[in-house]
Amino acid sequence: MPVRKLKISETQIALFLLITGVTLNYTFDGVNKLSSLYFPTFSRLAIIYRLLLELVCLSTIIVFFNKKRLTWMTWFFYFLICFFIGNLYLKYIIEINVSLVEQFIYFNKYFFIFFIFFATYKVLEDRDALQKVIENFKKVFLVNGYLAIIGLLFNIKLFSTFPTGTPRFGYDGLILAQNEASIFYLMALFVYYYDWKVNRKPLIQLLFALFLCAITGMKAVYLGIILLVLFHFLSRMSTKKLIYLLIGIVVSTVIFILSLSKIKQVFGYYFYFFTNKGFLFTILGGRNTFIESRVLPYLEKLDVVNYTIGGQNISNPNDYIALVEMDFIDVFLFFGLLNGVIFLFLYKKYIIGSIKNNLFYFMVIVFFLQSFFSGHFFTSSVNPIFIIIVFAYINTYINDKAVY
């Protein structure tokens, strides 16, 4: 009897990577949060998992090599060559003592999302397969949301958005970094909004997602909610919607005034900085001060090579580190002006793609705004899988006039 050979297709591998990746990526970040609080020795497990995931993605790209992947790998090697030139120049000519290993780890964060994308893009183009991945993402979001609610009810430190430092209101479940959590929650919010408006799913699902976002205590998430509400009412503003919007503003203002003392108690951390440091410091989390203290002294040491192709000190914070944790600025500080533009072009071409509806266009604006005001969007290690599946899910041809 002839032995049948087991043939696994590229789509099957990609679907497996995305479905398991959504679950495992979240799980290992949860382990990372638990470890960082109680068992610091195991806090690198998430890094090991993501390294393995990237190697599997690279293997998939090599095994199923094609013209599209060749173009991407050519660009990646171009950036890799520029990275070594810029950093060796930084180390030996500019004489900033950097660690090439640490520098490369940070460099790799920018390209992690591309490796996942090029290993799985055929599933992202298959609507039925993508739906399975999105359903798994929604399950992960709900599980994390229930943990956040438990944290809120029983004041559990592990599920707090701010488990260390100054006590602040907010519960985000098992996601460690606040910037990463804000991306995760807003991605889920857009999925539920899309399902409600386009797929006619129950409104209660969207309202529950809004509630989970509201208890995170994060400025970026609140800004995303406000912008989404404005988009919803302004996208096709009728008289009826205008009345609803005005009523909502009036009611919200009254509630805000009546609850001001309670709000100050819950969000006292932000009120303190707003009254003592000003609006800009509060909204940027103090990042505006980094321009003067970090960037300007650093730029004085650079020349045309670093300005053009990059060479940014990440590994030695005592020697003119220039990161301001505002991604849209850090891209140019890390890659230089020329390569910064090229990186953004590649991100638009592959990760964002051709924009097919108004909601997705608005969503891209929201996340680019977030990348300007905070970090961890372009260099996120937790969210790349979530970003590519949600972008692909929402970026479909829909009749905007019929939906709004």
**What pLDDT is attached to residue 6?**
57
d(C-alpha 361, C-alpha 194), whole Å = 13
Please report which confidence band the pLDDT of residue 332 belongs to, taking 50, 70 and 90 as the band edges. Answer: confident
Task: Dump pLDDT digits (tens) for 365-398.
Answer: 999 888 877 678 999 989 999 999 999 999 998 7
Check residue 372 and give its pLDDT.
74
Please, what is the angle between helix 358-373 and helix 178-197, to 10°?
170
Whole-number Cα distances in Å, 334 to 295, 317, 347: 11, 14, 16
What phi and psi, each to the nearest 5 degrees, are found at residue 311? 125, 80
383-387 contact pairs (CB < 8 A, 24+): 383/180, 383/183, 383/184, 383/187, 384/112, 384/113, 384/116, 385/18, 385/21, 385/22, 385/25, 385/116, 386/22, 386/25, 386/137, 386/183, 386/184, 386/187, 387/113, 387/183, 387/187, 387/351
Q: What is the pLDDT of residues 201-246, one digit of tens each?
A: 999 999 999 999 999 998 889 989 988 988 888 876 665 665 676 6
The whole-angstrom separation of Cα 209 and Cα 216 is 11
Collapsed DSSP state (helix, strand, coil) of residue 250: helix
If phi > 0 it is left, if psi is from -120 to 50 it is alpha, else beta; for residue 3 that is beta
- Two structure tokens written together for 30: 């949860």
Q: Could you give the maximum distance between any two Cα atoms of the chain, in Å?
A: 81
HSE of 164 in the Cβ direction (CA atoms, 13 Å)? 8
| DSSP letter (8 states) at residue 300 | T
Q: Is the dihedral angle over the CA atoms 364, 370, 376, 382 positive or is it negative?
A: negative
Q: Which two tokens stand for residue 360?
A: 């997705």
- Over 90: is that where the pLDDT of 160 sits? yes
| Domain residue ranges in the chain | 10-403
Give the list of residues 6+ apart from residue 224 with CB closer than 8 angstroms, or none: 182, 185, 186, 189, 213, 366, 370
pLDDT tens column, 84-109: 998 888 888 877 788 888 889 889 99
Q: Which two tokens stand for residue 344?
A: 């953004």
In this prediction, residues 330-340 reach a mean pLDDT of 89
Please tell me the predicted confidence (pLDDT) of residue 113: 98
What is the pTM (predicted TM-score) of this model? Answer: 0.87
